[in-house]
Amino acid sequence: MDGATFLNEHSIAPTPIRVSIIEILQANDKPISYDEFLTKIKANKTTIYRNLDILLDKNLIIKNEIDHKSFYGLADHAKAYFVCETCHKLEEIELPKLPGKSVKSVAIKGLCEKCS
């Protein structure tokens, strides 16, 4: 589904920046850093942050903080990531079952097989 249709289905005005954000996230299977958005979208920092905040408030995207850096992904399902503290490889892993909890995202840090 294209970004404009996705936004319309969630009652959000499909501005060019919002459409770009959604389509960038749809095209990637890993979370995207704010810096990566800056390289792909021609807009100032405040505009990008404001639009990310709108999508976060509507629960359409998830924000993870890893080593003081924000990463964003679609909120199509709860997600868990393993982050290697040495090579910084980011890998989606199976989310542990937590009965009675509504989890959006989890980041687990450690050493990957290659770095351990």
Q: Kindly indicate the confidence band of residue 70, based on its pLDDT and cuts at 50, 70 and 90.
A: confident
pLDDT digits (tens, 9 = 90+) for 77-97: 777 888 888 888 888 888 877
- In this prediction, residue 76 has a pLDDT band, given cuts at 50, 70 and 90, of confident
Please give the Cα distance from 107 to 50 (Å, whole number).
24
The edge-to-edge listing of strands for the beta sheet with 79-84 is 90-93, 79-84, 105-110
pLDDT (0 to 100) of residue 96: 73
Query: Six-digit token pair at 53?
Result: 């905040």
Work out the angle at residue 93's Cα, subtended by the Cα atoms of residues 7 and 55, and round it to the nearest 5 degrees.
20
The whole-number pLDDT of residue 21 equals: 96
Residue 12: which pLDDT band, with cuts at 50, 70 and 90? very high
Whether the Cβ atoms of residue 6 and residue 27 lie closer than 8 Å to each other: no
Residue 89 vs residue 21, higher pLDDT: 21
- Let me know the angle formed at the C-alpha of 14 by 13 and 20, rounded to the nearest 5 degrees: 145
Mean pLDDT of the region 14-30: 93
H helices present in the chain, as ranges = 3-9, 16-27, 34-40, 45-57
- Read off the pLDDT of residues 26-51 as tens digits, 9 standing for 90 and up: 998 888 988 899 999 989 889 999 99
